[in-house]
Chains A and B, each alone.
Chain A
């Protein structure tokens, strides 16, 4: 199966306007046309407040777009989709359930019980000794592993990740990035990864999308043709990495600057 032929996710003329009660409505993203080919690892980078997270809410169906159309796995997104995995920036495990119970949730909601599968995923993310622990007994990195297992146990074709490692310390973060690449490796899954960290985006992805300061538009796209398997810590030293970084940073710098100036005016 050749990756990159069929789009797992498409956005056509998508925009999103938030209308908070008793506040002025604001346009979060606009004019978004984007295809994420099946099996690709694509990262979206942009300054804070550019609507990156909104993008994932629209793809997952948690929020409806104001204009345009979103499709996932070939069907239009009209309601919350369960044929994808979503790793949130914040902890999303149920605090009153153990790791094992949390990982088993997606199967339980579907009326299935596949103990072997749950155990397999707990082992794959390295949490076998902690299967009976509660989330608050685990470190931040371990909770992220548990969330990965929870999101992947039902075998979704698409994985959405919203700055999943931003709350981790740098060492744990690199470990988790490597682990993510290993898990993703031969799975054929499509990953849409949101981050504000350009280095992380390049190290992980096949392709990066740079967004403008809000309202977010797509400013540029770069293909990252660094060899795989990669080690995210070491690949940063390769000359090819530096070249892509330089180009992408030129685009991103202006937007970060603009976003910062705007935040100063607001306060």
Chain B
């Protein structure tokens, strides 16, 4: 490559390069250190594996096709649950948050109740959701909705309630109807706060889907994690070299659930 080439984007400044370099350094030293410690026998490969091994294992997953049991299908299902939970939770959150901010009676009556519900750790209630909504998609979406809803609800409620009253008074005198006040003033004014809450809640929709799958599901990334945790095999099918003698492998009975026995 020659220096005469004109870059398609603005050239990165020296400082940006330095920042990138630091970032790369952190990642390389973490992954490289892990690999080296694993090869040197400091980290027990049974519990910690090595980056070079589990990358191959993951590659194996991705090459198993797109059948029902494949990682592709797991990703598809989890993504769908995430999107549904996020969308439904956001719509409910914005709608009800707006109504509560506009109607003082509603706000006063239900705000404490909502705060109470919000204080319940919903992830722990995942088994209840599975009992109520079944083992399929609905329970995962429902858990995601309860997580997303409260974040978006409180953000919308606060943002709409705190809109500068002068703006509202002014447009009312200028002839705005109720609908104009909503769409020309309140929602645009609350927009950035709502948007910020969406960034947080998208992550929660995903967490809700995965946790609910982990607790009870036939498919999805959470299911895959649960299975992997029950039968650890962080390396590809080819058996890795035997673990160092210094730390013998744990007896299998510790890893198997005792429930299967009579």
- A and B together in one complex: yes
Q: Which residues of A contact B (CB under 8 A)?
A: 60, 62, 80-82, 84-86, 88, 90-92, 94, 96, 105-106, 109-110, 150-151, 154
A192 to B185 Cα, complex, angstroms: 27
Interface string of B153-170 (1 = CB under 8 A from A): 000000000001011011
Task: Identify the closest chain B residue to A62 (Cβ).
Answer: B169
Instruction: Please tell me the size bucket of the interface on B.
Output: 10 to 19
Q: Are A94 and B174 in contact (CB under 8 A)?
A: no
A102 to chain B, nearest CB (A): 10
B171 touches A105 (CB 8 A): yes
Task: Give residues in B with beta carbon < 8 Å to A.
Answer: 164, 166-167, 169-177, 180, 184-185, 188
Question: Is there an interface contact between B166 and A88, defined as CB atoms closer than 8 Å?
Answer: yes
Not counting A94-B171, A96-B188, a sample of 12 additional A-B residue pairs whose C-beta atoms are within 8 angstroms of each other reads A60-B173, A62-B169, A80-B172, A80-B173, A81-B173, A88-B166, A88-B170, A90-B164, A94-B188, A105-B174, A105-B184, A110-B175
Report whether A92 and B166 are in contact in the complex, using a CB–CB cutoff of 8 Å: yes
A60 to B176, alpha carbons, bound, how many Å?
14
Is A62 a contact of B172 with CB atoms below 8 Å? Answer: yes
Q: Which residue of A lies closest to B188 (CB)?
A: A96
Chain B neighbourhood of A154, CB < 8 A: 174-175
B166 touches A82 (CB 8 A): no
| Cβ 8 A contact of B175, one of A88, A90, A91, A106 | A106
Within the complex, the shortest CB–CB distance from B183 to chain A, in Å, comes to 12
Q: What residues of chain B lie closer than 8 Å to A96, measured between beta carbons?
A: 188
List 17 A–B pairs whose Cβ atoms lie within 8 Å, in order of A's numbering. Answer: A82-B174, A82-B175, A84-B173, A85-B173, A86-B169, A88-B166, A88-B169, A91-B166, A92-B166, A92-B169, A94-B188, A105-B174, A106-B175, A109-B176, A110-B175, A150-B174, A154-B175
A113 to chain B, nearest CB (A): 14
**Alpha-carbon distance between A91 and B14 when the two chains are bound, in angstroms:** 43
Q: Which residues of B contact A84 (CB under 8 A)?
A: 173
Find the B residue at minimum CB distance from A147: B170
CB of B170 within 8 A of CB of A86, answer yes
Identify B174's interface contact among A62, A90, A91, A106, CB under 8 A.
A106
- Top 8 closest A-B pairs, CB basis? A92-B170, A109-B175, A106-B174, A82-B175, A86-B173, A90-B166, A80-B172, A92-B166
By CB atoms of chain A within 10 A, which of B166, B175, B177, B185 has the most? B175
Docked Cα-Cα span, A60 to B171, in Å, equals 12
Chain B residues with CB under 8 Å of A110's CB are 175
Instruction: Indicate the member of B174, B180, B184 with the most A CB atoms within 10 Å.
Output: B174
Residues of A within 8 A of B188 (CB): 94, 96
Cα(A32)–Cα(B203), bound, Å:
59
> Which residue of A has the minimal Cβ distance to B181?
A109
Q: Write the chain B residue with the least CB distance to A96.
A: B188
- Residue in chain A with minimal CB distance to B172: A80
Question: Which of A82, A91, A94 contacts B185, CB < 8 Å?
Answer: A94
Instruction: Find out whether the CB atom of B175 lies under 8 angstroms from the CB atom of A92.
Output: no
B173 touching A109, Cβ below 8 Å: no
> Is the pair A94, B175 in contact by a Cβ cutoff of 8 Å?
no
Q: In whole angstroms, what is the CA distance A15 to B133 when docked? A: 59
The reply to whether A109 and B180 contact each other, CB–CB distance below 8 Å, is yes
Q: Which one, A82, A92, A150, A151, contacts B167 given CB within 8 A?
A: A92
Closest A-chain residue to B174, C-beta based? A106
The smallest C-beta distance from A105 to any residue of chain B, in angstroms, reads 5
* Chain A minimum-CB-distance residue to B170: A92
Which of A105, A150, A154 has its CB near the most chain B CB atoms (within 10 A)?
A: A105
A86 to B168, CA, bound (A): 12
- Shortest Cβ distance from A172 into chain B, in angstroms? 20
- Which residues in B have their C-beta under 8 angstroms from that of A90? 164, 166
